[in-house]
Amino acid sequence: MENIFVSVISLALIIISTVTMTFSTMKSTSELADSIKQMEAQSSIKSRTDINAIPPEQYLGGIIDIIIVNEGQTNLGSFPDWDAIVQYEDGSGNYLTYTTSYPPGENQWTVEGLYLSNGDPEIFNPNILDPGEQMTVSIELNPDLGTGESASFSISTPYGVKSRTYVTTITE
């Protein structure tokens, strides 16, 4: 009788362990599948995203206005999640912080405006950079670029698609 009791308890523990392990495996597999789906979605967005940074034709000092053109197939927004980095000619660099106010403060950048490709202000999807549209990014540096100095600007979307351009201060 004692052997039957021990056998029944052992069998119950084996069944409970097997069921627990099966459910844990199914949950882990489901989480892995969800992660793979998210990675594929982000990869798809990234492959359809393309931006191009265009420097000002002439820069004499002060606020730097760079035009960002959406040459991809996705709508872009969420500008606080974008990254803007400047590297000076002397090798130093600054990570610029985003602000919603214009003009931007020291070492800040902001979206001055969103425009259609012909320069007219956008009216469809406000505050979203649609394909074919462009936005003007205004940047305030401290210290300012001196005459004849250059800087490299990198602008990056939240998914890591980036564009780089160079600005050189000219003399009048």
- According to DSSP, the residues that pair with 113 across neighbouring strands are 136
CB 141 within 8 A of CB 104: no
Q: What is the pTM of this model?
A: 0.73
- pLDDT of residue 21 exceeding 90, the answer is yes
Q: What is the pLDDT of residue 38?
A: 87
* pLDDT tens, position by position, 61-104: 788 899 999 988 888 888 899 888 888 766 566 678 898 888 88
* pLDDT tens, position by position, 137-159: 998 888 778 787 888 899 998 88
With a pLDDT cut of 90, the percent of the chain lying above it is 17
